[in-house]
Amino acid sequence: MKQKKVIIALSGGTDSSVAAALLKRAGADELRSSSRFANARVFDLIGVFMKLADFPQFRENKKRAERVAKILGIPFLVLDLRKEFKKRIIGRFLKEYKLGKTPNPCVFCNKKIKFGLLLEKALALGANFIATGHYARLKRKRSGVCLLKGKDKEKDQSYFLWRLNQKQLKHILFPVGDYTKEQVRSLAKKFKLPVLKIPESQEICFIRNNINNFLKRNLKNKPGKIITKEGKIVGEHGGLWFYTIGQRKGIKLPGGPYWVLDKHLKKNLLIVTKNENDLFKKELLVKNINWILGKEPKLPLKIKAKIRYRHQPALSTITKELKAKTYKVVFKKPQRAITPGQSVVFYRDKELLGGGIIC
C-alpha cells in the first residue's frame, strides 16, 4: 500500500503528541475501530513545531516536541512563523480590541496559521495531509468533508474551526477526535511520551499573565465616562478595551454590583447596568459567515447556535438580511452577554454547519 505523507503539528502538548503516536501506529488496535483510518495503515510522518514567539513557554514546548519526535522516530522540523503570527494574529487581536470588540484569536490562528501557512508549506513539501491534536472529527461524504464535534463533549474544539473550507479540510486529519481526554492521557502513558505532567495549555498562547496587562503594554489608555443605560454618569474607565459585555469584576464602582452592558466607541462611553437581566438578548446579527460545505443552506434554517466557546448551544433560527451581507440569528430563549467580535457557530446535531462574527 502506498504511504501517505503527513505533517503533524507538534506543539509539545499531550494532545498533539498522542496524535502523532496514533498516526505512527496507524493500523494497530488503537485505530482499527476508527473508520477514518480503515484504508490508511501506514503514514510517512514528519513532526513540525511552529515557532510563533520567543516566550519561555514556546522554547520549552519546542524542546518537548523534539523529544516526542525522537521517541517516535520521526523527522523533526521547526517552522519559524513569528513574523506572520505577530502580524496576522496578534496585530489583528489588538486592532479588534481597539475597536471595542472582543475577538477570539484562536479562530483566526486556525484559519491563517495552522491550517493556512502550515498547510501551504506541507503541500509544498509533497504532503497529503496535515494533522493536529484538535478534539474534532471529519466525515467524508459525496457532498464534501463534514466537520463534527469531538467525542469528548468537554474538550470538543470544533467551535474554533468554523472558518475552515473544503480545500483545507480534505487535507486534514484529527487523530484524537475519536477519543476522550482521559483516553488520550492513558495513551500518552502507554506510548511513554514525556507529556503527562505538563499543565493544560491556556486558550490565548501569546498572553503570559492576564489579558489586561497585555493590553496595557500594547494599547494606549483612553479614559472616558462610565454611564448607566439611563445616561447617569457613575464613574470613569481607563479604556474601553479593558471591558467586555457581561463583565462584573474590575468595574470598581460603589453601590454595585454592576455589569458591562455595552460600549459606545465614538463617544468613548462604557455603559453599565445593575440589572443582570438587561444582558439577555434574543437575537444577534452575524457577518463574515463561512459555510463548511461551501454553499449556503436553504434559509431560514433552524439550528443550534453557540455564541462563545463554553456556551451551551441554543435553539435558534438563522435568516439572511435583505440588501445586506449580514445574517440574523433569533434564539428561542434570550441569551446572556452576546458580544461583538466573538464567533457564533451553527450546529445541526453533531455537525458544525458554519459560523460567523457577531456584529
Hey, CA dihedral for 86, 88, 93, 97, is it positive or negative?
positive
**Contacts for 19 with CB less than 8 Å, ≥ 6 apart:** 8, 131, 132, 133, 174, 175, 176
69-89: burial string, b at 16+ Cβ within 10 Å, e else: bebbebebeebebeeebeebb
Of the candidates 106, 146, 205, 359, the residue annotated as catalytic is 205
Asked if 184 and 18 touch (Cβ cutoff 8 Å), the reply is yes
Give how far the C-alpha of residue 156 lies from the chain's centroid of Cα atoms, to the nearest Å.
Answer: 10
The torsion angles phi and psi of 148, rounded to 5 degrees, stand at -120, 160
Name the 3-class secondary structure at 260.
strand
Does the active-site annotation cover 109?
yes
281-320: burial string, b at 16+ Cβ within 10 Å, e else: eeebbbeebebbbeeeeeeebebbbbbbbebeebebbbee
Which of the 8 DSSP states describes residue 104?
-
Question: Closest by alpha carbon to 137, among 107, 163, 187, 172?
Answer: 172
Alpha helices in 197-306 (DSSP H): 211-218
Of the candidates 106, 109, 146, 359, the residue annotated as catalytic is 109
Bridge partners (DSSP) of residue 314 are 305
| Cα(90)–Cα(300) distance, integer angstroms | 36
Sheet bearing 224-228, strands edge to edge: 233-237, 224-228, 269-273, 259-264
Name the 3-class secondary structure at 354.
strand
List active site positions: 109, 205
